Amino acid sequence: MADSDDHGALAKAFSGLGVDEKKIITILGKWHPEQRKTFRKGSRDFFVEDERQFERWNDRHVAQLRNEFLRIKEAIVLWTMHPWERDARLLKESLNKGPGQYNILIEVSCTRSADELLGARKAYHSLFHRSIEEDVAFHVHGPDQKLLIALVSSYRYEGPKVSEEAAKTEAKTISSAIKEGDTELLIRVISTRSILHLEHVYKHYRELNGNYLDEDLKGDLLLKETIQCLCTPATYFTKILGESLKYDADELSKDSVTRVIVTRADHDMKQIKEQYSEKYGGNLANKIEEVANGSYKDFLLTLVARGD
């Protein structure tokens, strides 16, 4: 392979999601000092000319590469963790990272069974010597606090019984509440009712208003994401993956790929793949193949294939 081909292959290996370890080892292992120097001088995306006349790594890219190398380790650790511990650590991390990551609180609260969420709360006690409710109250302020505490505290009925009339009545009540700006009623309903009941409310709301409930919550992202996680989780996770697998996705978005695939591989990955194909006109596995690298890519593809 010519040096120019090596340079292109190495640039690709350093970019995107994960690092192609095999490619890096193959190329760099055979390069002499002069070849490494040529690569540094010709790779301004990665190196900058220092005032003391040498090419140094761009600090931003060094940080990115460290993240890329860690992705495979993070994915394997999350996959092998007990689900209760995994969810507890995801909850803690979302609070530490701040408002932009509060959707993870919603994911865990709304897409786990009642016993799974209770298990995560128990694990949170054990790991951090505090309750998740206590930490949400400490970290989150304003109207979002009431929603998130209600969600992480919920223990929903999961049986098959649902009253169609009650769902219709609740859809009308919610419709009026939204028009009046009464989010407290909506929070009470979505944090206490069974998911099956809420799916029926979701259906009847559209029959009444012409829009889905989440479509009418444009001004409140967390409420909108809560409804999606409860009533259309595959659609929600598809959206997260679509944003995270973009070439220009930021580091927090890229982290979402690991979280979503690891936590959904044994649940609704088949539906997520179908939704992804419908929304983006492509195959999820092909997209991962296109943007991810190395062992990280291989591991993600293995998990995604569990939905076949």
pLDDT at 12: 81
In-domain check, residue 15: yes
pLDDT band at 1 (very low <50, low <70, confident <90, very high): very low
Looking at 16, 34, 57, the residue that finishes a domain is 57
Residues 221 and 273 occupy one common structural domain:
no
Residues 160 and 227 occupy one common structural domain:
yes
Task: Determine contact, residues 216/229, Cβ cutoff 8 Å.
Answer: no
pTM for the whole thing? Answer: 0.88
In-domain check, residue 140: no
Residues 160 and 215 occupy one common structural domain:
yes
In-domain check, residue 215: yes
CA atoms within 13 A on the CB side of 39: 22
Residues 215 and 280 occupy one common structural domain:
no
Q: How many structural domains comprise the chain?
A: 3
Residues 211 and 266 occupy one common structural domain:
no
Residues 216 and 281 occupy one common structural domain:
no
Q: Which of 234, 257, 261 is nearest to 244 (CA)?
A: 257
Residues 221 and 249 occupy one common structural domain:
no
Q: Is the pLDDT of residue 245 over 70?
A: yes
In-domain check, residue 148: no
pLDDT band at 99 (very low <50, low <70, confident <90, very high): very high
CATH number assigned to the domain comprising residue 200: 1.10.220.10
pLDDT at 97: 93
The more confident residue out of 14 and 106 is 106
CA atoms within 13 A on the CB side of 10: 24
* Domain span at 175: 156-231
In-domain check, residue 113: no
Residues 217 and 250 occupy one common structural domain:
no
To the nearest 10°, report the CA torsion of 95, 155, 222, 176: -150
Q: Alpha-carbon torsion 208, 211, 212, 216, what sign?
A: negative
Q: Is the pLDDT of residue 252 over 90?
A: no
Q: Per-residue pLDDT tens for 146-170?
A: 999 999 999 999 999 999 999 999 9
In-domain check, residue 184: yes
Q: Is the pLDDT of residue 2 over 60?
A: no
pLDDT at 307: 67
Rounded CA-CA distance 38/219 in Å is 52
In-domain check, residue 78: no
Residue-averaged pLDDT of the chain: 92
In-domain check, residue 27: yes
Range 176-189 average pLDDT: 94
Q: Alpha-carbon torsion 283, 286, 291, 292, what sign?
A: positive
Q: Is the pLDDT of residue 190 over 50?
A: yes
Residues 224 and 290 occupy one common structural domain:
no
pLDDT band at 138 (very low <50, low <70, confident <90, very high): very high
Rounded CA-CA distance 117/112 in Å is 6
